[in-house]
Structure 1
Amino acid sequence: MSEGLGMRYAFTGPLETMHLNAPDGLEDYLSRYREGMRRVLSTFGPVPELSGSEAEAINKEMCNFIPKHQLPSRRDRRDQLLMGLAKLKK
């Protein structure tokens, strides 16, 4: 975690990380990784659907928080912060 997602989570939470990591935001991320996430999560117990009305509601909130047209600038901000954090860790 200290060299991977943990560094991102210092600046963004898991949903924002997913929203920023796919070209078209959270909806795109879920369509790409939903099944893999389901397989991993099933080893922990009940699995959220991450589709249908649940996914639509989460996607709507993320798009309100960071509209799709702001994704590139938000990714740049995240990357600059991560580079600064990497320098501090050295």
Structure 2
Amino acid sequence: MKDVDGVISVQDIDLVMSEGLGMRYAFIGPMETIHLNAPEGLEDYLSRYREGMKRVLSSFGPVPEFSGEEAKSINQEMCDLIPSDQDHLSARRQRRDHLLMGLARLKK
């Protein structure tokens, strides 16, 4: 169902959060979610979605560039927490997916 402006309804926003991102946030935060959702980690995510994020955020005030030193700093901080080598990322993704499946079963 769409809202008055034809974008997304309140019901759909709640559905996205309660059945999607919200479930992940029970186990991991938004930065780890981003880091695990791109094949090569956070830096890859930023290079793929930088322009879209800037478009969405532009209505909120000054928008970070998500590139250059800002991106390097954010990526380094994330990699200090969760190394971006493929074995480590794969293990973290498997853990996330296992926990999400368990949570989905509990919600039923």
Q: TM-score range by the shorter chain?
A: over 0.9
Of 50, 70, 74, the residue aligned with 1:34 is: 50
Alignment deviations for residues 1-50 of structure 1 (CA, whole Å, 9 cap, x no partner): 10111111111111111100000000000000000011111122221111
Moved over 2 A (4+): none
Q: Which has the larger radius of gyration?
A: 2
TM-score of the aligned structures, taking structure 1 as reference length: 0.95
Q: CA deviation at 1:68?
A: 1.4
Structure 1: gaps of 5 or more residues: none
Could you say which residue in structure 2 is the equivalent of 1:72?
Answer: 90
Could you say which residue in structure 1 is the equivalent of 2:4?
Answer: none
Q: Count how many residue pairs are aligned between Structure 1 and Structure 2.
A: 90
